[in-house]
Structure formats: C-alpha cells, structure tokens
Amino acid sequence: EDQVTQSPEALRLQEGESSSLNCSYTVSGLRGLFWYRQDPGKGPEFLFTLYSAGEEKEKERLKATLTKKESFLHITAPKPEDSATYLCAVQDSGGSNYKLTFGKGTLLTVNP
C-alpha cells in the first residue's frame, strides 16, 4: 500500500529564514510526486510534479527535489504570504495509478 509521511507537522519561521519540508514515501513504482499548497478554506493549488530521482523544479522561493525515498520542498527567504499548508502526494505506476495518495501536510507559518 502506498504511504506518504510529511514532516514536520507544523513549522514556524521568521520572514527570511530559509528551511525545508520533508515528504517520505513508499510506492511499488513511482509515476509522479506532487506538491500542492492549500490556503485555509480553499482547495489545494498545484505547485510541482517530479517524475524521477534527481529531478528538481523551482517556482519563485520554492524548490522541490526528489530522491528514491523522499522529496524536499525548500523555501528560500520566505515571506508571510508563503504561509499555508503544503501537501505532498504520490501516484503509483502500478495497479492503483488512478489516484493520488496524499500526506497529512505541513502547516507553515511565516511571521513578519
């Protein structure tokens, strides 16, 4: 069974203080790993898809990386508007490839 574990559950940063969020996963075969951002009361917003180990993608202050067992979302010099819950999800390349398995998320708070 596919599993996704995100850590930490919550992270509080000062504006400009860089850090990383972790997503550890277990799948029989990885079709894709997805990062989403979710603001309170809203639906998740797609950020990145990573397909193979060693792949990296960037968007503004965010950079996602992927290994065979985990993914990191690096946040450089965060701003208060980066505060949100960040969700990681995996898609299996096997029989259950129709769905994403989501982690519980990391709640990021960036203080000014």
Partner 1 sequence: NAGVTQTPKFRVLKTGQSMTLLCAQDMNHEYMYWYRQDPGMGLRLIHYSVGEGTTAKGEVPDGYNVSRLKKQNFLLGLESAAPSQTSVYFCASSLQLNYGYTFGSGTRLTVV
Q: Does 12 bind partner 1 (CB under 8 A)?
A: no
Q: Which is nearer to partner 1, 18 or 97 (CB)?
A: 97
| 87 touches 5 (CB < 8 A) | no
Q: Which of residues 73-102 bind partner 1 (CB under 8 A)?
A: 87, 89, 91, 97-102
Q: 57: Cβ–Cβ under 8 A, 6 or more apart, which residues?
A: 48, 49, 50, 63, 64
Q: Which of 86, 103, 106, 108 binds partner 1 (CB under 8 A)?
A: 103
32: which strand partners?
91
Q: Does 25 bind partner 1 (CB under 8 A)?
A: no
Q: Which of 14, 29, 41, 81 binds partner 1 (CB under 8 A)?
A: 41
Q: What does the block give as tokens for 68?
A: 């065979």
